[in-house]
């Protein structure tokens, strides 16, 4: 009896689906992979055999009770009560590098094929002193040193480099359009890094990387469209539609912070007036606070975490003028979220970032703003979740983005139609 022709089941997308499932869910039995991906048991067996031959997937035997017969081809052993054989990604099948660029800080991480961060380093650098060429030269120097310092585990060249940048980026062209971390605008990042390292180099803003990290974390996210709003120096957003981070046709989509609240409102760091960010961003709150309280030696352009924490503490300790600033920021955030819901109707909205330090002060007014702005008949959620700020999430997402692209590349190369 002949097998169903393989052409009925395109192998590449199915293999990518299996890799992605294992990366998100960890070790899994063939039957569970089949259920999750909709592939038949025979197809799962055939495809995972291919993936094992390619050294991408391995059998992972759960701890056995004593007998522990570690036979290499464990699939056809005795059937009596043996533990399910699980499949897992081979961590060393490939490695990728994630880079994160924020104001005065460059971080570099090494991710394995499972998406786990194995090593990372931080460099405090006056990023705003760098021009475009100095930035590129520095990134190359730091990445070179990182690869050299970790040559005990980086035994093959990284298959991808993904750069997460604070600010507005064009993920199609690989350019930083504008970043608060840099003085110069329009800096091409991916081209010189591709010339230096080959492989897949990509770049996106940090909010998109965080969105990617959330899609790969089943504890945070159970499926469906979602947005993650990042509060901090500026206001960013990552948008996930149909399982993918949405960058828009021009590669610059989801700039939530630069949607307008009042066209002739206060000056935004983008150079225009009245953006949501010009009311909610750290610099905006500090700028308004300077008119209300005495602040020592303030550089309002780049408030420090200590300065912001000081404002939050004073607001919590009864300074009603300062508390009003946070409430007002919360209300305007609520208006912005109402627009987002009206336009896209996501299932869930996460709010995170260092600026969420004052979320408790902002939240009641956020919901008031949301209720005032929403059409009552269209009010159907979504769930708004405050996600405790985890500064490693962007790097985690950068690593994840590299691996997603690497999976596609591996299987597209052999797809000769």
List residues near Zn ion by CB under 5 A: 258, 268, 270, 275
Closest CA to 344 of 218, 202, 238, 257: 238
Q: Residue 39 or 181: which CB sits closer to Zn ion? A: 181
Rounded to a whole number of angstroms, the minimum distance from the CB of residue 275 to Zn ion is 3
Q: Which residues contact 116 (CB under 8 A, 6 or more apart)?
A: 91
Rounded to a whole number of angstroms, the minimum distance from the CB of residue 366 to Zn ion is 20
Q: Residue 268 or 394: which CB sits closer to Zn ion? A: 268
Q: Residue 159 or 278: which CB sits closer to Zn ion? A: 278
Query: In angstroms, rounded to a whole number, what is the distance separating the alpha carbons of residues 176 and 136?
Result: 12
Query: In angstroms, rounded to a whole number, what is the distance separating the alpha carbons of residues 157 and 144?
Result: 11
Residue the block writes with tokens 């300790």:
317
Q: Residue 136 or 270: which CB sits closer to Zn ion? A: 270
Query: In angstroms, rounded to a whole number, what is the distance separating the alpha carbons of residues 341 and 330?
Result: 16
Radius of gyration of the chain (CA): 24
Q: Residue 277 or 363: which CB sits closer to Zn ion? A: 277
- Both tokens of residue 32? 């569970």
Around Cβ 234, how many Cβ atoms within 10 Å?
32
Rounded to a whole number of angstroms, the minimum distance from the CB of residue 24 to Zn ion is 34
Rounded to a whole number of angstroms, the minimum distance from the CB of residue 261 to Zn ion is 10
Q: Residue 146 or 279: which CB sits closer to Zn ion? A: 279
Q: Residue 92 or 265: which CB sits closer to Zn ion? A: 265
Rounded to a whole number of angstroms, the minimum distance from the CB of residue 181 to Zn ion is 16
Rounded to a whole number of angstroms, the minimum distance from the CB of residue 180 to Zn ion is 11
Region of 190 on the Ramachandran plot (φ > 0 left; ψ -120 to 50 alpha; else beta): alpha
Query: In angstroms, rounded to a whole number, what is the distance separating the alpha carbons of residues 180 and 141?
Result: 22
Rounded to a whole number of angstroms, the minimum distance from the CB of residue 342 to Zn ion is 20
Determine contact, residues 59/117, Cβ cutoff 8 Å.
no
Rounded to a whole number of angstroms, the minimum distance from the CB of residue 177 to Zn ion is 12
Residues in the chain: 417
Please report how many Cα atoms fall inside a 13 Å half-sphere around the Cα of residue 324, on the Cβ side.
Answer: 7
Q: Residue 288 or 363: which CB sits closer to Zn ion? A: 288
Query: In angstroms, rounded to a whole number, what is the distance separating the alpha carbons of residues 56 and 389?
Result: 33
Determine contact, residues 162/199, Cβ cutoff 8 Å.
no
């Amino acid at each position: 009896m002949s097998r169903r022709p393989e052409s009925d089941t395109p192998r590449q997308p199915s293999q990518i689906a299996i890799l992605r499932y294992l990366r998100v869910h960890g070790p899994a039995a063939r039957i569970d992979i089949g259920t999750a991906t909709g592939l038949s048991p025979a197809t799962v067996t055939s495809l995972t055999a291919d993936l094992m031959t390619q050294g991408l997937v391995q059998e992972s035997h759960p701890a056995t009770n004593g007998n522990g017969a570690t036979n290499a081809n464990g699939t056809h052993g005795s059937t009596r009560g043996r533990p399910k054989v699980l499949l897992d990604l081979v961590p060393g099948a490939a490695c990728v590098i994630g880079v994160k660029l924020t104001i005065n800080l460059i971080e570099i991480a090494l991710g394995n094929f499972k998406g786990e961060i194995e090593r990372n380093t931080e460099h405090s650098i006056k990023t705003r002193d760098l021009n475009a060429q100095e930035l590129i030269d520095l990134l190359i120097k730091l990445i070179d040193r990182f690869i050299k310092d970790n040559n005990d585990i980086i035994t093959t060249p990284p298959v991808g480099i993904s750069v997460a940048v604070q600010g507005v980026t064009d993920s199609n062209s690989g350019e930083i359009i504008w970043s608060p971390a840099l003085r110069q605008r329009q800096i091409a990042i991916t081209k010189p890094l591709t010339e230096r390292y080959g492989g897949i180099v990509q770049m996106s803003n940090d909010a998109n990387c965080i969105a990617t990290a959330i899609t790969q974390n089943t504890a945070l996210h159970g499926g469906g469209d979602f947005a993650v709003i990042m509060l901090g120096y500026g206001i960013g957003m990552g948008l996930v539609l149909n399982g993918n981070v949405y960058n828009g046709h021009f590669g610059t989509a989801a700039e939530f912070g630069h949607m307008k609240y009042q066209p002739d409102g206060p000056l935004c760091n983008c150079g225009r007036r009245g953006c949501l960010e010009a009311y909610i961003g750290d610099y905006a709150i500090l700028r308004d606070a300077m008119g209300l309280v005495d602040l020592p030696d303030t550089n309002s352009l780049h408030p420090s975490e200590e300065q912001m924490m000081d404002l939050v503490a004073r607001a919590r300790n009864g300074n009603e003028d300062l508390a009003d600033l946070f409430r007002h920021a919360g209300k305007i955030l609520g208006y912005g979220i109402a627009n987002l819901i009206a336009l896209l109707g996501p299932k869930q909205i996460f709010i995170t970032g260092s600026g969420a330090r004052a979320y408790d002060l902002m939240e009641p007014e956020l919901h008031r703003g949301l209720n005032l702005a929403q059409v009552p008949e269209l009010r159907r959620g979504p769930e708004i979740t405050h996600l405790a700020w985890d500064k490693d999430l962007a790097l985690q997402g950068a690593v994840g983005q590299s691996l997603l692209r690497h999976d596609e590349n591996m299987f597209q190369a052999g797809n000769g139609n």
